[in-house]
Structure 1
């Protein structure tokens, strides 16, 4: 009787181990599939950051991170300075979480004018601290990424007006695929709350 029970328990344990192993393999495959999908969706378009480093948008900027993304260009004198000032308040409120738990990203809508050195000068002018990356690239890659992030208008004529894309901020957590958008001039504490809800 004990031998039969021992054999049965061994078989059950083996079956349970196999089931757990199969579930783990299936979960890993599903996670890889989701990562691949998000990588394709956001694209791995090439950009250059403010330090001159070449980066891939999904692999280096978005993947597995909580990000706060806005569109800007250094020659913008209307809403961009106010947006940057407000996001600086968000950066200060986040403190040492910046660059560790939360990453801010500003993407130039005029990459042909905004070189890495122009972006650095802009950052210095506004006192931008660590954990905030400014990107420039080609107009084609910029357009793809901004549209994938939700910075677009369904009317082509309106979409061509770059100024229309500078007033919003996109907040996302790639690990759990949660995203939201809000006006970039939303009170800094409300933006921080939205980041914390998504993070």
Structure 2
């Protein structure tokens, strides 16, 4: 399933490249929306307090309206409960999703990304799992077994509508490559 990710200003949206009539909403967080959210959610640590906005480039139509092609592959991964799940047709499907990539032994950005996802979960409330879904994919499938992902997910209060996935390294690598 080929998908086109578009950005206008600070919000991300997707136009499906499938035939008209398909309802697809996809927000890819890896380095995109979650990074933007993270930048807004965590005040600038060590910021000198000066206004640096004047040094930013002027926003133009070219800098604001961009598109990125991504490929949502329908590969078999495994959720935190050990159940096989197809990434494209079951996890993403025609849903609005926020995706991040983590590994449970990470001590730098991964816990921050997961905390941001937990905040998104909190703000979505009952809409999570209905209007939008969160997907966290381990990039260390060798260590991140379903049991380990389950424990990590519990640390962040993950509820229904927040899917945690791992799988064969080759499948995880292909998912990453498709979304790159």
Do residues 72 (structure 1) and 102 (structure 2) align?
A: yes
Residue 143 of structure 1 corresponds to 173
Residues in 2 aligned to 1:61 and 1:124: alpha-carbon distance in whole angstroms:
19
Q: Is 1:97 equivalent to 2:154 in the alignment?
A: no
C-alpha distance in 1 between matches for 2:87 and 2:21: 18
Q: Which residue of structure 2 aligns with residue 181 of structure 1? A: none
- Runs of 4+ in structure 1 off by over 6 angstroms are none
In the alignment, which residue of structure 2 is the partner of 1:62?
92
Give the RMSD, CA atoms, in angstroms.
Answer: 2.4
The reply on whether 1:47 has 2:74 as its aligned counterpart is no
CA 64–78 in structure 1, closer or farther in 2 if over 3 Å, else same: same
Higher helix share: 1
Secondary structure, counterpart of 2:104 in structure 1: coil
Query: What is the distance in 1 between the residues matched to 2:137 and 2:143?
Result: 13
Q: Secondary structure at the match of 1:59?
A: helix
Aligned to 1:125: 155
Aligned length in residues: 118
The 1-side partners of 2:176 and 2:79 are apart by 16
* Residue 30 of structure 1, CA deviation: 3.7
Give the aligned partner of residue 113 of structure 1.
143
Unaligned runs of 5+ in 1: 1-28, 36-40, 151-199
Write out per-residue CA displacement over residues 1-34 of structure 1, whole angstroms, 9 at most, x where no aligned residue. xxxxxxxxxxxxxxxxxxxxxxxxxxxx94599x
Higher strand share: 2
Rg (Cα) greater in structure: 1
What is the rounded CA distance, in whole Å, between the counterparts of 2:21 and 2:176 in structure 1? 24
Deviations 1:92-133 (A, max 9, x none): 011111011101000000001111100010011222222101
